């Protein structure tokens, strides 16, 4: 497997910074104006594996497209690797590689031709191009001369990653990179992205697979209705959910959830277990187990279910709906 690229030295503390970033799309015909971003403040640390999450229409793609120079912001400031996107647009765009969600590529170009053309766009001298190295790294070297239209969906996704790396950017943005990719190709893609991150590349990920974000990202921001509603280390974000579920497997089958749990959420699951969801700031496991015993339930087994990122995501985005 080829070596991964190394970002430049004397790097800034933050790979991406946004201050008061605003974007309003003007009204068109019968469609009203849309305020897609509302004063977004966001600082993504250099070297982080950063998750940017939010429901459809939250503003994630607008934010990414502003960084990539595809959308013109309405107000505020943004910089990439210390380069202001207005004052130094060429340097800013040279510091970032974006893997788009859409499979946009010329169907009659081969992977090798696509990477060579992309390297030319970024002004990479012929002697410094890493076409073979990158194609080997993403598992496409054996397809280097095939038309892009003949590649599978997973191969096309990996080709987009390869194109984003031709200029060795210190920041890589992955917008829904595993959408439509099977499990094995997803694993291969993440193996390579992890190596990139270990080499020092800052990774920014948007995904609807929340289990991926929880497993990969050290820090996560949640954006909703154009505003950042949370930005914390992943573990701290999950801990913000003040609830757990006590799951009791009874010795004998229960006909219904017992009385005495009116101040918490108690229900019988399809497998016969009694699930008691409670706030950790208000109740303890010992107290709840006492209630179970007083209700005459003999305990065969028990477990505690912790909240996950999906619980946090749903709670924070539904609260603003």
CATH number at residue 292: 3.30.70
Say what the pTM is: 0.79
CB-side neighbour CA atoms (13 Å) of 174: 33
Q: Which domain holds residue 282?
A: 241-319
81 sits in which H/E element: none
In-domain check, residue 91: yes
Nearest to 110 by CA among 151, 146, 140: 146
Nearest one of 167, 165, 174 to 121, comparing CA atoms: 167
What pLDDT is stored for residue 117 in this prediction? 93
pLDDT value for 4: 43
- In 3-state terms, what secondary structure has residue 213? helix
In a domain, 76, yes or no: no
Contact 247, 305 (CB under 8 A): yes
Whether 284 maps to a domain, the answer reads yes
- pLDDT attached to residue 319: 60
Tell me the C-alpha distance between 50 and 66, whole Å: 18
Q: Please tell me the distance from the alpha carbon of residue 5 to that of residue 169, in angstroms, as a whole number.
A: 8
Q: In what order do the strands lie in the sheet with 34-45?
A: 34-45, 14-25, 75-80, 83-84
Name every residue whose Cβ is closer than 8 Å to that of residue 3 and which is 6 or more positions away in sequence: 133
User: Which pLDDT score, from 0 to 100, does residue 269 have?
Assistant: 93
206 and 111 within one domain: yes
- Spell out the per-residue pLDDT of the chain, length 321, in tens: 334 444 445 679 999 999 999 999 988 888 888 899 999 999 999 999 999 998 888 899 999 999 999 999 999 999 999 999 999 999 999 999 999 888 878 888 999 999 999 999 999 999 999 999 999 988 899 999 999 989 988 888 889 999 999 999 999 999 988 776 778 778 888 888 899 999 999 999 998 888 889 999 999 999 999 999 999 999 888 887 778 899 999 999 999 999 999 999 999 999 999 999 998 888 999 999 999 999 999 999 999 988 888 888 887 777 655
Which pLDDT value is given to residue 9? 53
Q: Are residues 293 and 282 in the same domain?
A: yes
The answer to whether residue 12 sits within a structural domain is: no
Q: Is 32 helix (H, G, I), strand (E, B) or coil?
A: coil
Together in a domain, 188 and 274: no
């Amino acid at each position: 497997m080829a070596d991964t690229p190394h970002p430049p030295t004397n790097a800034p503390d933050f790979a991406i910074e946004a201050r008061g970033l605003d974007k309003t799309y003007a009204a068109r015909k019968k469609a009203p104006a849309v305020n897609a971003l509302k004063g977004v403040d966001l600082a993504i640390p250099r070297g982080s594996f950063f998750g940017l999450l939010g429901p459809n229409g939250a503003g994630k793609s607008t934010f990414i497209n502003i960084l990539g120079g595809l959308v013109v912001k309405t107000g505020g400031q943004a910089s990439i690797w210390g380069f202001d996107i207005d004052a130094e647009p060429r340097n800013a765009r040279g510091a970032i590689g974006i893997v788009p969600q859409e499979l946009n590529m010329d169907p009659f170009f081969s992977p090798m031709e696509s990477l060579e053309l992309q390297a030319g766009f970024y002004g990479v001298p012929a002697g410094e191009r890493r076409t073979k190295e990158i194609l080997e790294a993403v598992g496409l070297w054996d397809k280097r001369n095939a038309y892009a239209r003949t590649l599978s969906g997973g191969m096309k996704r990996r080709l987009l990653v390869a194109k984003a790396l031709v200029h060795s950017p210190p920041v890589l943005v992955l917008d829904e990179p595993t959408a439509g990719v099977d499990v094995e190709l997803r694993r291969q893609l993440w193996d390579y992205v992890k190596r990139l991150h270990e080499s020092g590349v800052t990774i920014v990920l948007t995904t609807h697979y929340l289990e991926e974000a929880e497993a990969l990202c050290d820090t996560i921001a949640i954006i909703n209705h154009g505003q950042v509603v949370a930005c914390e280390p992943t573990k701290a974000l999950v801990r913000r959910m003040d609830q757990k579920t006590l799951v009791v497997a009874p010795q004998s089958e229960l006909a219904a959830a017992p009385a005495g749990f009116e101040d918490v959420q108690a229900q019988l699951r399809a497998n016969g277990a009694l699930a008691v969801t409670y706030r950790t700031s208000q109740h303890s496991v010992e107290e709840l187990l006492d209630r179970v015993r007083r209700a005459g339930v003999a305990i065969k087994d028990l477990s505690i279910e912790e909240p996950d990122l999906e619980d946090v995501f749903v709670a924070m985005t539904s609260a603003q709906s």
